[in-house]
Chain A
Amino acid sequence: MNIVVLMKQVPDTWSERTLRAADNTLDRDAADAVMNELDEYAIEEGLRLTEAHGGEVTIVSMGPEKATESIRKALSMGADKAVHVSDEALHGSDALVTSAVLAKVLERAGFDLVILGSESTDARTGVLAAMLAERLGVPQLTFASKVDIDGSAIAIHRLADYGYDTVEGTLPAVVSVVEKINEPRYPSFKGIMAAKKKPVETLTVADLGIDPAQVGLAASATEVVEWAKRPPRAAGVVVTDDGDGGTKAAEFLASRKFI
């Protein structure tokens, strides 16, 4: 089975993140860059499926040169090869443009299954799976907490508030995964050594037959018009227990709709 896992490098959620004043795009130099956490689950699922059914896992990542660090990590976890789309022209691309570029890569690489995290921690649009499925003309099975494959049939548990729905489809397909699906492995030292020898193909927009004018900030359909820093955290509420502390705490929680 030919599995492609989409992986994005994002600013570490633990560091201070901000947008660039010049063009309202994410300031990728302001924070440490790490692999989007949900993508680790996507890679793990890809590896487990090929361990069970045979085949290869290809990592596809679109992002600046720095993303090679995260690509290497994915390869050291056990993925077989990678395609890195890296081009200055892509700077500022929104989800729509990104999906167009990735769809081209996927058409070029061929696939039985595309796996991706259900969202990235930077933009958090969570729309890529749907856009890709639409562009590629294949079924989308999203928010998967479990994936089963039997021949060309695929079934997932789609995570919901009340539990899960079972969603079925046929391959080729696009699947987005949630954290519940598995426990991602750490790379191993052997994997790190092996990763050095694994092929990474670097592509520009032109290599994909895309006009550079059709991508990037200017070509994007959506635009960040305005943004503001998150307000500093307000002082907490102190509940003094005059014998009615429990009631006050419950009222507070109710006012925030926690209970």
Chain B
Amino acid sequence: MSAVQRLAADETTEALFGLAREISEQELSPAAPAAEQESRFPREMFRLVGKAGLLGLPYPERFGGGGQPYETYLQVVEELASGWLAVGLGVSVHTLSCFPIATAGTERQQGWLPAMLGGDQLGAYCLSEPGSGSDAAALRTRAVADGDSYVVDGVKAWTSHGGQADFYTLFARTAGDPDAADRARGISCLHVPAGTPGVAAGPPEHKMGMRSSVTAQVRFDAARVPGDHLVGEPGRGFSIALAALDAGRLGIAACATGLAQAALEAAVSYAGQRRQFGQRIGDFEGIQFLLADMATAVEAARSLYLGAARRKDAGLRYGQQAAMAKLFASDAAMRVCTDAVQVLGGYGYVQDFPVERYMREAKVLQIVEGTNQIQRLVIGRGLAAR
């Protein structure tokens, strides 16, 4: 029986959690170590997850989605991430990439959603650039109107699924000055199919962890994108980007919770077997206290993202709570994974056990979709504006 007993609203939700857990335990978890070792992107796992209907859960059924509340969708992401972070995070990134069209797209664009959410396709989200990360509005990639299309030039950095994705949700400048105070104005959102001539991904970055998840630059070299691929109002794309990130941060929080849960379980199981000084190390109060703090952090992280998700599902503002959940859950994951290595001692530091990998993976969650400094900035500004 899984260590996590989820509260499901009904039998369907319970069956969905069961399905996610089964896939996580039977498919993801066994395959993750080798693929991480070899930096191999698990496209087949996304197909499997897609076939199971898990690549479009939070979007309406009329768009081909699962019509599920975030409260449910995020727990599925958590289950997947506890088996393999790169897959859980990939599902979250894909969901993020579909957000602009689902929330701000035209009827025609929303007609593309069933294919995007159907399970065969994978999306990527191109906001960051080599020179603009936390200050994302300072982006320089340009989209110049030419007849009934846009011609895009520029370089996007750190694109998860870069080179593997079927479509890129691109933020580019159609007007405005990247160095001006009002630089957020003039940014537009474009839906770019991967096959578009002039779009090319660079070589994958060599990362500290989560190596199976490909991260690459995506170059746009006079790439011609049809005008009707512009999502939302021209020049208003940055607010779409931020709205998508509010939801996306909940996904990162769920991933962090899943990863921390996996580290906790590895530590508890090891502490129950390893003997020193004639007894199980799990019987030492020093280890028990460590485990108790880890378990408390995981539970708190889960509660925080679920609380934010319920606000979102109820139609309330949730950006502040999403920032808190992302901040807390990823810091908790970092601490829990570090402590899991400690519980395993020397065995935690070598690749025979998964906790050293978890520790390397946890770090990225404090950086992506707004560093944890930026989350604090979002929360702080919210407080100052009250």
Say whether B11 contacts A189, CB under 8 Å.
no
Interface residues of B in 12-57 (CB under 8 A from A): 12, 15-16, 18-19, 22-23, 48, 51-54, 57
Closest to B1 in A: A32
Specify which of A15, A32, A192 is in contact with B16 (CB 8 Å cutoff).
A192
Interface residue count on the A side (C-beta < 8 Å): 15
Interface residues of A in 20-75 (CB under 8 A from B): 32, 72-73
**Distance of A124 Cα from B176 Cα, bound (Å):** 73
Closest chain A CB from B117 CB (angstroms)? 11
**Distance of A191 Cα from B66 Cα, bound (Å):** 11
For B52, the chain A residues whose CB sits under 8 A away are: 186-189
Main secondary structure on A side of the interface with B = helix
Say whether A192 contacts B51, CB under 8 Å.
no
**Distance of A32 Cα from B12 Cα, bound (Å):** 19
For A203, the chain B residues whose CB sits under 8 A away are: none
For B23, the chain A residues whose CB sits under 8 A away are: 186
For B15, the chain A residues whose CB sits under 8 A away are: 72-73, 76, 187, 192, 195
**Distance of A189 Cα from B57 Cα, bound (Å):** 9
Say whether B1 contacts A192, CB under 8 Å.
no
Is A196 interfacial (CB-CB < 8 Å)? Answer: yes
Is A190 interfacial (CB-CB < 8 Å)? Answer: yes
Say whether A192 contacts B12, CB under 8 Å.
yes
Interface residues of B in 195-235 (CB under 8 A from A): none
Main secondary structure on B side of the interface with A = helix
One digit per residue, 1 when the CB lies within 8 angstroms of any chain B CB and 0 when it does not, for chain A 171-196 equals: 00000000000000011111111011
Specify which of A72, A187, A188 is in contact with B11 (CB 8 Å cutoff).
A72
**Distance of A76 Cα from B1 Cα, bound (Å):** 21
Say whether A190 contacts B12, CB under 8 Å.
no
Closest to A191 in B: B53
Closest to B22 in A: A186
For B16, the chain A residues whose CB sits under 8 A away are: 189, 192
Say whether A188 contacts B1, CB under 8 Å.
no
Closest chain B CB from A17 CB (angstroms)? 14
Say whether A188 contacts B53, CB under 8 Å.
yes
For B66, the chain A residues whose CB sits under 8 A away are: 189
For B11, the chain A residues whose CB sits under 8 A away are: 72, 196
Closest chain A CB from B5 CB (angstroms)? 12
Closest to B14 in A: A69
Say whether B12 contacts A186, CB under 8 Å.
no
For B51, the chain A residues whose CB sits under 8 A away are: 186, 188
For A72, the chain B residues whose CB sits under 8 A away are: 11, 15
For B22, the chain A residues whose CB sits under 8 A away are: 186
Say whether A186 contacts B19, CB under 8 Å.
yes
Closest chain B CB from A59 CB (angstroms)? 15
Say whether A190 contacts B53, CB under 8 Å.
yes
For B19, the chain A residues whose CB sits under 8 A away are: 186-189, 192
Q: Which of B15, B48, B57 has the most CB of A within 10 A?
A: B15
**Distance of A191 Cα from B23 Cα, bound (Å):** 15
Closest to A189 in B: B53
**Distance of A51 Cα from B51 Cα, bound (Å):** 17
The verdict on A193 contacting B12 (CB below 8 Å), with A186-B19, A186-B23 known, is: yes
For B12, the chain A residues whose CB sits under 8 A away are: 192-193, 196
Closest chain A CB from B153 CB (angstroms)? 40
Closest chain B CB from A219 CB (angstroms)? 34
For A32, the chain B residues whose CB sits under 8 A away are: 1
Closest to A190 in B: B53
Closest chain A CB from B63 CB (angstroms)? 14
Interface residues of B (CB under 8 A from A): 1, 11-12, 15-16, 18-19, 22-23, 48, 51-54, 57, 66
7 contacts between A and B (CB under 8 A): A15-B1, A186-B52, A187-B15, A187-B19, A189-B53, A191-B53, A192-B19
Q: A188-B52, A189-B16 are in contact. List 6 more A-B contacts (CB 8 A).
A: A72-B11, A186-B52, A187-B15, A188-B51, A192-B12, A196-B11
- Top-8 shortest CB links A-B: A189-B53, A188-B53, A192-B15, A188-B52, A186-B52, A190-B53, A189-B66, A32-B1
